[in-house]
Amino acid sequence: MSESEGPSDHGADFNGEIRPWGRYYILDDGPTCKVKRIVVEPGQRLSYQLHHRRAEHWTVVAGTALVTLNGEDITVEPGASIDIPRGADHRVRNPGTELLEFIEVQMGDYFGEDDIVRLEDDYGRAGQ
């Protein structure tokens, strides 16, 4: 698999962004929503974070997600979805041995990566 191909994009050339926990691919970027495919490596997790200017809707397509939403742990299996309200503390972890893949639909008025307030981070990025 080339670095620009995702695990299930069937050869489409999406520009992936590599992160310490895995990578993401921007599928659509419009004025009222942004859509990403997020791939989390086994045993990894994203920062515990919140967003001031967007809400998110996650649909798991492969693997199992352990989502922490405002301090509550919720298991999300393939085919299931979860809503992350604007301002809610949240993170996702891949507790499995296979890749976790989910589709994230962001809704709001701003979708920049600088609308991430990291509360905790395994990779030293909290407060950034």
Domain 16-120, CATH: 2.60.120.10
Spatial separation of the C-alpha atoms in residues 63 and 94, rounded to whole Å: 8
First to last CA, the chain: 32
Q: Are 7 and 1 in contact (CB under 8 A)?
A: yes
pLDDT band, residue 14 (cuts 50/70/90):
low
| pLDDT tens-place string over residues 30-77 | 999 999 999 999 999 999 999 999 999 999 999 999 999 999 999 999
The percentage of residues in the chain with a pLDDT greater than 70, rounded to a whole number, is 88
pTM of the model: 0.86
| pLDDT tens-place string over residues 72-93 | 999 999 999 999 999 999 999 9
Q: Where are the domains of the chain?
A: 16-120
